[in-house]
Amino acid sequence: MTLADTQPQALTFECETGNYHTFCPISCVAWLYQKIEDSFFLVIGTKTCGYFLQNAMGVMIFAEPRYAMAELEEGDISAQLNDYEELKRLCLHIKRDRNPSVIVWIGTCTTEIIKMDLEGMAPKLESEIGIPIVVARANGLDYAFTQGEDTVLAAMVHRCPDRAPEAEKEERNAIAKLLNFGRQKEDVAAEESDYINHPPLILFGSLPDPVVTQLTLELKKQGIKVSGWLPSKRYTELPVIEEGYYVAGVNPFLSRTATTFMRRRKCKLIGAPFPIGPDGSRAWIEKICSVFGIEPKGLDERETQIWESLEDYIQLIRGKSVYFMGDNLLEISLARFLIRCGMTCPEIGIPYMDKRYQAAELALLEKTCHEMGVPTPKIVEKPDNYNQLQRIKNLQPDLVITGMAHANPLEARGINTKWSVEFTFAQIHGFTNARDILELVTRPLRRNSSLKNLGWDKLVKDESPV
């Protein structure tokens, strides 16, 4: 890298071959069935899909999960069996055993190829068996990993009620209920005055319940009321959405959901950076405030205080470089946060880059690079893992954030790695969890620094491909 490169430039975007490793988007059932407590996810696919889920979900599989495979057999493929009758049989079975409030059908590559009309069959079967059936095509032909959640949530948007009965309105959404838990009506009324009068705001993105509470409280401090959250804890508690409501995403991979809110439900999208890291959390809140014409209070101190509490971790990574191979679409936000922590980032691989939905995040990334005086990263969409490994070999980054397929081989070659999937399962949103991100990021560095003097860096004999 020459000296000239240290002058910050605009972001550059590239697109490679798409030969990269990622999880199949059906993996979203693993966290969504836990989030939506009264749901049942039926993945309509083959043994290949089942094998992936069984292995990727690890011990969860033994806990009688509310998911199952509808495993297609040769008769289904050659249309000797009637799809509708087959699905009806299985769904009745599920209804009998589990009685869920919703069955989510996950369409897979196979249902795409044989053109099984899931969207057509669902409404008919729904009225026949009396359980809502939501169809999401989360397949590997079109999507990567976390985009699976996007397809499910986009399908759920259509199911959000457009008007709640008056009496029920107050009770309807999960967040309000949660916060008002056990309180008197008068207290609740008094609490209403904590909020500034603003149009209803719905947040979207599946987060663990504690994180939902944290972000909701964070906005409450600014007098902003969260009227609902997609998804909510239960399918029966999906938020009311009326025309003109405001919506904001909490995760960078939710572009279809955002589009659906805007086009189909006539909502207004607040395009903000995502609340990942203290910088992102602040920018997220500021943007929401600005849309509602609210002057944010105390954010400066809050952010400073969080940064101070992170200093011990930041010392470990300041001045080091991080390389994202790309597999879960959180990459831009994480890179932006890590650059703010003082890291450099030569390359951000990402499966899919929605420049409109992520516009504010990209702008913040660029701004962060300028302010920190580091070169802007190259953003590589649909990366080619083989080429990336060659580049990693040349760059020798201090940390590579990558999938499990490459982690052990890279470690054996003396390269520190962090398994990217952990970022999707850990709590990383809001001010409160910034430390958890750095806990993950610094773990390989802390571990390897304790092994540093043992001379065990390179543990392969010949340097074959990388």
Partner 1 sequence: MKLAYWMYAGPAHIGTLRIASSFKNVHAIMHAPLGDDYFNVMRSMLERERDFTPVTTSVVDRHVLARGSQEKVVDNITRKDQEESPDLIVLTPTCTSSILQEDLQNFVDRAQLEAKGDVLLADVNHYRANEIQAAERTLHQIVQYYIDKARKKGGLPDGKTEKPSVNIIGISTLGFHNNHDCTELKRLMADLGIEVNAIIPDGASVHALKNLPRAWFNLVPYRELGMMTAKYLEAEFGTPYVDITPMGVVETARCLRAIQKVLTENGAEVDYEDYINNQTLHVSQAAWFSRSIDCQNLTGKKAVVYGDNTHAAAITKILAREMGIHVIWAGTYCKYDADWFREQVSEYCDEVLITEDHAQVGDAIARVEPAAIFGTQMERHVGKRLDIPCGVISAPIHIQNFPIGYKPFVGYEGTNQLVDLIYNSFTLGMEDHLLEIFGGHDTKEVVTKALSADSDMNWTKDAQAELNKVPGFVRGKVKRNTEKFARDRNITEITVEVMYAAKESVGA
Q: Please, which of residues 165-184 interact with partner 1 by CB under 8 A?
A: 179, 181-182
The C-alpha atoms of residue 45 and residue 125 are separated, in whole angstroms, by: 19
Residue of 5, 7, 12, 113 interacting with partner 1 (CB under 8 A): 113
Q: Which of these, 192, 439, 143, 169, lies nearest to 314 by C-alpha position?
A: 439
Residue of 79, 141, 190, 359 interacting with partner 1 (CB under 8 A): 141
The C-alpha atoms of residue 436 and residue 443 are separated, in whole angstroms, by: 10
Q: Which of these, 217, 253, 242, lies nearest to 157 by C-alpha position?
A: 242
The C-alpha atoms of residue 330 and residue 437 are separated, in whole angstroms, by: 12
- Least Å distance, CB 357 to partner 1, is 20
Of residues 80-99, those binding partner 1 (CB under 8 A): 81, 86-87, 89-90, 93-94
> What does the per-residue mask of binding to partner 1 show for 56-75, with x meaning CB under 8 A?
x-x--xx--x-xxxxxxxx-
Of residues 303-322, those binding partner 1 (CB under 8 A): 305-306, 309, 312
460 touches partner 1 (CB under 8 A):
yes
52 touches partner 1 (CB under 8 A):
yes
Q: Which of these, 167, 169, 201, lies nearest to 270 by C-alpha position?
A: 201
- Least Å distance, CB 415 to partner 1, is 12
> What does the per-residue mask of binding to partner 1 show for 418-457, with x meaning CB under 8 A?
-------------xx--x----------------------
- Least Å distance, CB 350 to partner 1, is 14
Residue of 199, 210, 298, 414 interacting with partner 1 (CB under 8 A): 210
- Which H helix or E strand runs over 278? helix 277-291
The residue behind tokens 């990209």 is 362
Residue of 33, 41, 105, 145 interacting with partner 1 (CB under 8 A): 145
- Least Å distance, CB 62 to partner 1, is 4
Residue of 8, 132, 271, 409 interacting with partner 1 (CB under 8 A): 409
* Range in contact with partner 1 (rule: CB under 8 A) among 44-52, 266-274, 314-322, 437-445: 44-52
Residue 24 buriedness (CB in 10 A; 0-12 / 13-18 / 19+)? buried
Give the nearer residue to partner 1 in terms of CB position, either 9 or 390: 390
Give the nearer residue to partner 1 in terms of CB position, either 86 or 422: 86
Q: Are 399 and 321 in contact (CB under 8 A)?
A: yes
Residue of 38, 112, 126, 366 interacting with partner 1 (CB under 8 A): 112
Total of chain residues touching partner 1, rule CB under 8 A:
82
* Straight-line distance from the first to the last Cα atom of the chain, in angstroms, rounded to the nearest whole number: 20
Q: Which of these, 103, 138, 101, 421, lies nearest to 233 by C-alpha position?
A: 101
- Which H helix or E strand runs over 133? strand 133-137
Of residues 330-389, those binding partner 1 (CB under 8 A): 386, 389
Residue of 6, 7, 9, 48 interacting with partner 1 (CB under 8 A): 48
7 touches partner 1 (CB under 8 A):
no
Give the nearer residue to partner 1 in terms of CB position, either 94 or 401: 94
The C-alpha atoms of residue 108 and residue 122 are separated, in whole angstroms, by: 15
Look at the chain and count its residues: 466
The residue behind tokens 């990574």 is 317
The C-alpha atoms of residue 463 and residue 414 are separated, in whole angstroms, by: 11
